[in-house]
């Protein structure tokens, strides 16, 4: 009876996903013809964000919707190329520049090795400009980034589960934990296998590969904080340190642009107005979120992005995503 019940649940789950996919296809076909959406795209700047490009994604990138296969990536980039005019990301630094109709920028977060090995060569072949937001600490230390570390610990480490319960850390834990709490947990001497966590996360780019791509005219590097801390969980001083430490490393690359993408990227739960003010005072030229990807003006200080992943399996799915993002407003409290 238990086996039958589990089988029924799996069948219902698959049917539900299939139904959602069909609905997205139908809605996407409608959005594609929507004159309001077409107008916004034509007169705005649409920014897309990817994470990993790989046919062998890690458990972390697969479970959290951070990956696309190589063939998917080619299809998605081809669709963007056919419907947008992809521009150099440095355009957002030049206040007096004018954008072409239906302008778009291609961005990436985190610096997964698969993106450099699989995604960048495809974009180079198409001569498409790239903007990669990097956390330099895990790249320099060859250590897991903060978000992957915390997600792994909660899934596989019972001591960490007890710890977050004891200190009333709210879920999702990679958004709410702060440096003092993590330091406290690590100082308690718990056994942590960092090789296993790196495997769970997936391999990040190394410095040699960064230097290689830094020489390519189409590539630009910008900041994603020194480690993958959630801005809203940090004090102003911690936030400043995360920006300054990362900038000190990134300025060594000729392709560096003084831009910053908030980790995790959702307004209010991941960053707030105070975080924006701190970073603006530090001299950041533009900030990027991970929502509301169709921007009315590229001259806005905070620009939205549309995240693309393995669930976007058809062109109508992509039109659906654009249609949904066009209905939202990027409000930060």
Assign 3-class secondary structure to the chain: CHHHHHHHHHHHHHHHHHHHHHHHHHHHHHHHCCHHHHHHHHHCEEEEEECEECCCCCHHHHHCCCEECHHHHHHHHHHHHHHCEECCHHHHHCCCCCCCCCEEEEEEECCEHHHHHHHHHHHHHHCCCEEEEECHHHHHHCCCCHHHHHHHHHHHCHHHHHHHHHCCCCCCHHHHCCHHHHHHHHHCCCCCCHHHHHHHHCCECCHHHHHHHHCCCCEEEEECCCCCCCHHHCCHHHHHHHHHHHHHHHCCCCCEEEEEECCCCCECCCECHHHHHHHHHCCCCEEECCCCCEECCCCCCEECCEECCCCCCCHHHHHHHHHHHCCCCCCCC
Strands 256-261 and 219-223: parallel
What angle do the packed helices 315-325 and 2-32 form, to 10 degrees?
70
* 218-227, 231-240, 316-325, range with the lowest pLDDT: 316-325
Question: What is the arithmetic mean of pLDDT over 95-109?
Answer: 91
pLDDT digits (tens, 9 = 90+) for 72-81: 999 999 999 9
When pLDDT is cut at 50, 70 and 90, the band that residue 12 belongs to is: very low
pLDDT tops 80 at residue 20:
no
Give the Cα separation of 182 and 160 in Å (integer): 10
pLDDT at residue 330, as a whole number: 63
pLDDT at residue 69, as a whole number: 97
Question: What is the arithmetic mean of pLDDT over 85-110?
Answer: 91
pLDDT digits (tens, 9 = 90+) for 269-293: 999 999 999 999 999 999 999 998 9
When pLDDT is cut at 50, 70 and 90, the band that residue 11 belongs to is: very low
What is the chain's mean pLDDT, rounded?
91
pLDDT tops 90 at residue 172:
yes
pLDDT digits (tens, 9 = 90+) for 244-253: 999 999 999 9
When pLDDT is cut at 50, 70 and 90, the band that residue 6 belongs to is: very low
pLDDT tops 60 at residue 5:
no
pLDDT tops 60 at residue 8:
no
* CA neighbor of 178 nearest in space, from 167, 165, 189: 167
* 22-36, 62-76, 106-120, 161-175, range with the lowest pLDDT: 22-36
pLDDT tops 50 at residue 3:
no
Q: How many CA atoms lie within 13 A of 39 on its CB side?
A: 3
When pLDDT is cut at 50, 70 and 90, the band that residue 329 belongs to is: low
When pLDDT is cut at 50, 70 and 90, the band that residue 298 belongs to is: confident
pLDDT tops 80 at residue 215:
yes
pLDDT digits (tens, 9 = 90+) for 49-70: 999 999 999 999 999 999 999 9
Question: Which CATH number is 34-325 given?
Answer: 3.20.20.370
pLDDT tops 60 at residue 10:
no
pLDDT digits (tens, 9 = 90+) for 103-160: 999 999 999 999 999 999 999 999 999 999 999 999 999 999 999 999 999 999 999 9
């Amino acid at each position: 009876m238990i086996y039958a019940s589990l089988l029924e649940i799996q069948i219902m789950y698959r049917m539900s996903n299939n139904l959602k996919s069909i609905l997205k296809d139908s809605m996407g076909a409608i959005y594609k013809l929507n004159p309001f959406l077409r107008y916004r795209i034509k007169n705005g700047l649409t920014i897309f964000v990817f994470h990993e490009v790989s046919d062998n994604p890690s458990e972390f990138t697969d479970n959290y919707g951070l990956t696309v296969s190589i063939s998917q990536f080619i299809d998605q980039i081809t669709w963007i190329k056919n419907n947008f005019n992809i521009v150099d990301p440095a355009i957002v630094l030049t206040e007096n520049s004018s954008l072409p109709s239906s302008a778009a920028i291609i961005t990436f977060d985190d610096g997964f090795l698969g993106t450099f090995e699989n995604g960048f060569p495809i974009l180079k072949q198409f001569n498409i400009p790239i903007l990669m937001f990097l956390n330099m600490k895990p790249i320099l230390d060859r250590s897991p980034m903060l978000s992957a570390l915390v997600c792994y610990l909660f899934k596989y480490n019972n001591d960490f589960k007890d710890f977050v319960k004891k200190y009333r850390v709210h879920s999702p834990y990679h958004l709410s934990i702060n440096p003092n709490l993590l330091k406290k947990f690590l100082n308690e001497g718990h056994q942590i296998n960092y090789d296993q966590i790196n495997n769970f996360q997936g391999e990040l780019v190394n410095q040699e590969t960064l230097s290689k791509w830094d020489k390519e005219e189409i590539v630009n590097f910008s900041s994603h904080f020194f480690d993958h801390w959630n801005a809203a969980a940090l004090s102003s001083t911690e936030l400043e340190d995360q920006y300054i430490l990362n900038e000190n490393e990134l300025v060594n690359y000729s392709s560096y642009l003084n831009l910053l993408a908030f980790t995790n990227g959702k307004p209010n739960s991941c960053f707030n107005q105070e975080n924006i003010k701190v970073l603006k005072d530090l001299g950041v030229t533009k900030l990027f979120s991970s929502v509301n990807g169709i921007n009315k003006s590229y001259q806005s200080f905070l620009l939205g992005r549309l995240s693309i992943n393995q669930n976007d399996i058809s062109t109508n799915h992509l039109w659906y995503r654009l249609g949904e993002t066009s209905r939202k407003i990027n409000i930060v409290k």
